[in-house]
Amino acid sequence: MTETKNVMIVDDEADVLLSVTQILEANNYRTIKARNGQECLDKLKEEKPDVLLLDIMMPGLTSKEILRAIQKDSRLARMKIIFLTAIHSLEAEEEGLLASKQIVDFIEKPFSVRRMLDAIEKAIEFND
């Protein structure tokens, strides 16, 4: 029997948070939810997800601030990050958001469920 993998979903849109949670739980993932960057960082003090699905545009902490905080925490050094966002990859690249080695994929909303699940599996395999 394989170990259940943990995925943290960080998104300020309640409908996205709910739908992604339902999809992942139906596919045997344990989910951890955060509605903003600060809640994400607070939960990361207690939790250590295998993969972080991170929206880029949220109120409060910026994606860069979240990434910097994660990179400073040695416990989270192997955690993989997938951006799941409405922003285009070119904009993210221009903002310098794709520079971290922890960022393994970039999925634009609206997203394909199969694409998201494949990206998570790939990130977990890369971690193992």
Q: Where are the domains of the chain?
A: 6-127
Per-residue model confidence as pLDDT tens digits over 30-79 = 999 999 999 999 999 999 999 999 999 888 998 889 999 999 999 998 89
Q: In percent, how much of the chain has pLDDT > 90?
A: 69
Average pLDDT over residues 19-29: 98
The CATH architecture annotation of domain 6-127 reads 3-Layer(aba) Sandwich (3.40)
Q: Could you give the percent of the chain with pLDDT greater than 70?
A: 96
24 half-sphere exposure, CB direction, 13 A CA radius: 24
For residues 7-19, b (16+ Cβ closer than 10 Å) or e, as one string?
Answer: bbbbbbeeebbee
Instruction: Name 101's Cβ contacts closer than 8 Å, sequence gap at least 6.
Output: none
The pLDDT score that the predictor gives to residue 32 is 98
Contacts of 1 (CB under 8 A, 6+ apart): none
